Structure formats: C-alpha cells, structure tokens
Structure 1
C-alpha cells in the first residue's frame, strides 16, 4: 500500500511542479479520505500511472486500498488554483488557512476569496522570502561586469529586456542591473545559462512558496 500524504506533503508536492502546466501534465485526480483537509490523507494520482479502475457501474475505484477508503477529492490543477487564490488574497497564509480554503471549495464548488491583500501583508511576505505567486520565484541581478565584457553583456541584456543596445549599455555601466524579477525556476535556469555562456554570473535571490519551507538564500548563478 502506498503511504498517503498529509496536507503539508500534498501542498509541497504540488508546488514542486513549479508551474500549472507541469501540475496538469503530472497529476490527474487527487483522492482523499473523508473529512477535513487538515486531518485526512491524500493520494495524488499521476497521469503516467493512471491506475483508477471502474467498478462496473461507471464509478472509478481508488487507485490504492486504504482504511478508511479513499474518495475522489479534486483535480490536482484545481487544488493548485485554490492554493493560488488563497495566497494571492492572503500572502501570509499558513497550513490551516490553506486547509480552510480547500474545505470551502470542496463544499461550495467556489473559491474562498478574501479580496485584495493588505499592502503590509505583501510587504511582510516579501520580507519573509515568500513568492508573490503559488510557485517558487527568482530575482536575477547582474552585479559585476568587466569593461571587456560590457559589449557582450549589453547585447544580451538588450535581447532579454527588449531594449536598444544603447539603453542596455547604459544599464550595464550603471550596475547593479535587475535582469529579471519574479521568474519561475525554468526561466531562471535558462537566463543563468545564457549569461554564463558569455562568462557572466547572475546573483540569484529565491522566494519560497510557503512559510514552512526552507528559506532560499541568495546565491551566485
């Protein structure tokens, strides 16, 4: 029998996909024991291992056997959307807040929307190193360019930031230069590789999804 995930494990698994497209491609339905999201076990079913069966009456059977049994809960991409709405409106949400948002959706088939976040909450989330969206985010900064590298740096910056070479060169001369802000993990890796190819390292500052995750430290790209 496959071990079930608790809520924290489920949320960490969802955000480890790094974007909605990967969630959709990786997971289909999430199965769960009956009860509140904060206390039940979950089984996210991979699309590659789509092992749900039909019981003969058109109802899918749980992909694994547990006691108590599992029930169809929500699609994984819907779970991601619920988490995202919760985080957008309450940037400092903890595990109990996400549990409440999931329970509300599962009962009412609509999002628990608290409205716009207070500016001080967004500022505090930034201070704590929390990403503005659901998934991890990264800021990339160019801090050092040797004079001999300025032309190559300006050419790449112009392409990345959609600037003229002259504008880019002025920014390269006035370091530090924000190359990108709030990009996802894949985009961060691509940009770091492009600058590394011309001998330049980017300073990378990472922002995590949830308060309980380890804080991402700034590092050289």
Structure 2
C-alpha cells in the first residue's frame, strides 16, 4: 500500500495486534507492542542494532520510503522477522534484550556500535553478507553457512563457532575457552582473541589462527593450516597434507 502523507500527519496501522506503525513525512517507524529476543533478517538490507529500554522497542527506516506491506515486519512469540525490499533504505532496530540473531539474506549488512550483552547469545548466518558485532556473554554460539564476512569483538566465558563453507571470520577480545570448527575453505582469524584454552577442528583446506595461553587441542583433516599464536601447549591430531604451525609470518 502507498500512502500520500502531509506535513506532520501520521497514520497508525495494526496487523494482527503485533505491530503499531507510525508513518510521517520526515520519519517512519514501527513501535512494537511486545518485546522480542530473536531477530531474523530475510532480505538484502542494512540493519543497525541499538540498545534501548524495555517497552521502547521499535524499528526506524528512511523518511522517503512510503510503501509498507504486512510482510515488511512480523512479530510473533518473541521473534521479530524483517523482510523489506532490497532497495529499502537502512533500518535501525531498537532492542531491549537480544538472545539470537539470524541472517538469511545474501549481501545483508548488520552492525552494532555498542556490545550486545546477554548471558546467552546465538548468531546464525546463512549465505553471504557482512556482519560486524561486539558482544559480552557467558556462552556465545556462532554458526555460519556460506561465504559471509563477519567481525566479532567479544568478551565471553565459552565461545563456540562453526563454519560450513568459505566464510571469513575475524575474532578479537577475550574468552576463557573457545571452540572452532571449520568445514571447508573458510578462514578464521582469531589471533587477536586471547583465550586460556581452546579446541580446533579443521576439515578441508581452510585456515585457522588462534591464541591460547594454556592449552590447544588441534585436529586437522585435510590440506588446511592451523596456526597457534599463543604459548600454550598444543596437542596435535593431523590427518592429511595440512600443517599445524606457530604464528604466521607478519
């Protein structure tokens, strides 16, 4: 539907009682009637994540975008799904608590200027796209299927990441323990993530670089390479033509 809006005018629309939309000439936003803990992105769009107080959850997008359909946003049982047209302007999503982020769109871009803080954080990326997110968590789990490019700055007790494909991931920060599984030709650059202990399983021709101060268990099946940047003890399990080495040359 298309709305011709006048200066200062606004229109409220309700879809299933879930979302209250406020449309104005200079700003367009969706005020959510209930909080969400899971955010799912299903189209090529730029999304900024911003922390807000409870009951202030909302979505803001470009002032020039005037076409809104029921599939644009859907909120149900704590899960907010957004699927604006690919040509839509950047969107800002305000959340009070975020436990899970799911990106199902090639070339989507998601970023946050400040850390996402939650006891448990789950991030799933299916396809391409660019993700830049800082977070603080006791237990963080990341799954990437495809060729996405992801940058995570973190503080976590338990950090786990699984990559299936050719994604490039950069990890920085601190973790007590990290677990990395790479299946394919991707790259995990975690030399700037300081961890006490860790385990790596690399199946394929990819590359993983880590930094552990106490112990690293490294399993390599294939022609890939694992680099241990830290001084912790390394327990090696090598099957194939790959190599488990010290730090990469600068």
Q: Which has the bigger relative contact order, CA under 8 A and spacing at least 6? A: 1
Task: Give the TM-score normalised by the residue count of structure 1.
Answer: 0.23
More strand by share: 2
